[in-house]
């Protein structure tokens, strides 16, 4: 039998300086580390079977314009474990999908719920929600950023490596996608050195890269971009990749398969990393494309720990914004 401890409501944890959680870049380094600390705390409570209803009676609206497995389930379960409720709102089922503006939808839903999570295409859409909502807005994914996933990634690295500052992260693949952008932002916030390897023409967004390099000057981290995956993988503590063709880019699939073939994460590439490297992938993965099965299913892979940590990282975000 577990020795259950009475829930301690005096636990405070992180309070965000921003109303919303749209990007990692908007957070201070201390806020990122505090969110990770809170996530570890609540993960421990959950594993010990200790209730932690910090959001008792609160309701989170979940707006999905893109399909999802991990995002939907982790947010719904997270709100349940925090003592609240989540309402799934497909764009096909609400007036947003029939032409109602994002601003009107945000204003109306703010009268009903205590927070909104949105998984959509254009980042400008979630910014419009943020500007018009009077409740916290959380970015569940846009074409430009994926901050919830990257907070879970950092949590996973912290658990397996015991630290973040000074580690080298290697990202191989499409540098101009949401994972690459949020990884760059997150890595420099915690003092990591991130090396991005992508084909010419698929480099990260220039504005995001510029801001990350400015942030790195204050945290001791660094960002490098190269078209040589071997160079990026040298002495890496963490290797990360993502699918080569994201949702909405299906028409580019054949072109991308050719461009990214030299950027596959395989045994040969990973030989250049440190012997105790860990492998991350946000999932779903296309085994045989961006990563070989012997890597993602191998001893260095922590992708399912990473997937679980979506739950714990997001609970920290929800508590920080909605408590």
- pLDDT tens for 40-62 read 999 999 999 999 999 999 999 99
Alpha-carbon dihedral angle through residues 187, 189, 192, 193, given to the nearest 10 degrees: 70
Out of 27, 170, 270, 282, which one is annotated catalytic?
A: 282
Out of 27, 38, 149, 281, which one is annotated catalytic?
A: 149
From residue 268, give the alpha-carbon distance in Å to each of 244, 259, 278, 294: 19, 19, 15, 11
Is residue 10 pLDDT above 80, yes or no? no
- 242 is an active site residue: yes
User: Does this chain's domain 29-145+310-322 share its CATH topology with 149-306?
Assistant: yes
- The whole-number average pLDDT for the span 115-139 is 97
Is residue 17 pLDDT above 80, yes or no? no
- The whole-number average pLDDT for the span 119-143 is 96
Annotated binding site: 68-71, 95, 119, 146-149, 178, 242, 246-247, 282-283, 310
Under 8 Å between Cβ of 167 and 189: no
- Domain 149-306 classified CATH 3.40.50.1370? yes
DSSP string, 149-162: HHHHHHHHHHHHHS
Which CATH number does the domain 29-145+310-322 belong to among 3.40.718.10, 3.30.70.3400, 3.40.50.720, 3.40.50.1370? 3.40.50.1370
Structure tokens at 169: 């992260």
- 276 is an active site residue: no
Annotated binding site for carbamoyl phosphate: 68-71, 95, 119, 146-149, 282-283, 310
Which residue, chain included where needed, has tokens 């400008």?
124
Domain map (residue ranges) of the chain: 29-145+310-322, 149-306
- The whole-number average pLDDT for the span 139-158 is 98
Q: What is the mean pLDDT of the chain?
A: 94
Distance CA 93, CA 74 (A): 21
- 98 is an active site residue: no
Per-residue pLDDT band for 75 (boundaries 50, 70, 90) equals very high
- 297 is an active site residue: no
Which residue, 144, 88, 95, 133, is CA-closest to 111? 133
Out of 38, 52, 114, 119, which one is annotated catalytic?
A: 119
Per-residue pLDDT band for 12 (boundaries 50, 70, 90) equals low
- 174 is an active site residue: no
């Amino acid at each position: 039998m577990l020795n259950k401890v009475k829930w301690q409501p005096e636990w405070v944890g992180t309070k965000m300086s921003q109303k919303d959680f749209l990007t990692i870049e908007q957070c201070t380094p201390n806020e990122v580390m505090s969110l990770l600390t809170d996530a570890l705390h609540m993960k421990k409570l959950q594993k010990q079977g200790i209730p932690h209803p910090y959001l008792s009676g609160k309701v989170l609206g979940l707006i999905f314009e893109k399909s999802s497995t991990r995002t939907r389930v982790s947010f719904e379960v997270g709100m349940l474990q925090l003592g609240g409720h989540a309402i799934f709102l497909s764009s096909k089922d609400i007036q947003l999908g029939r032409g109602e503006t994002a601003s009107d939808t945000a204003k109306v839903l703010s009268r009903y719920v205590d927070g909104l999570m949105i998984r959509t295409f254009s980042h400008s859409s979630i910014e419009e929600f943020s500007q018009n909502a009077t409740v916290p807005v959380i970015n569940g994914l846009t074409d430009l950023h994926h901050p919830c996933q990257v907070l879970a990634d950092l949590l996973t690295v912290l658990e397996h490596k015991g630290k973040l500052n000074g580690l080298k992260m290697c990202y191989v693949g499409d540098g101009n996608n949401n994972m690459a952008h949020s990884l760059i932002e997150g890595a420099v916030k915690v003092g990591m050195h991130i090396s991005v390897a992508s084909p010419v023409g698929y480099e990260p967004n220039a504005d995001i890269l510029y801001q990350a390099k400015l942030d790195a000057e204050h945290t001791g981290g660094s960002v490098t971009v190269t078209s040589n995956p071997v160079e990026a993988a040298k002495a890496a503590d963490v290797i990360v990749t993502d699918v080569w063709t994201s949702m909405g880019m299906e028409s580019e699939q054949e072109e991308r398969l050719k461009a990214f073939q030299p950027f596959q994460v395989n045994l040969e590439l990973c030989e250049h990393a440190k012997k105790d490297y860990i492998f991350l992938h946000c999932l779903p993965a296309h085994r045989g494309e961006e990563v070989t099965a012997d890597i993602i299913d191998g001893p260095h892979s922590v992708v399912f720990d990473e997937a679980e940590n979506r739950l714990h990282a997001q609970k920290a975000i929800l508590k920080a914004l909605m408590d």
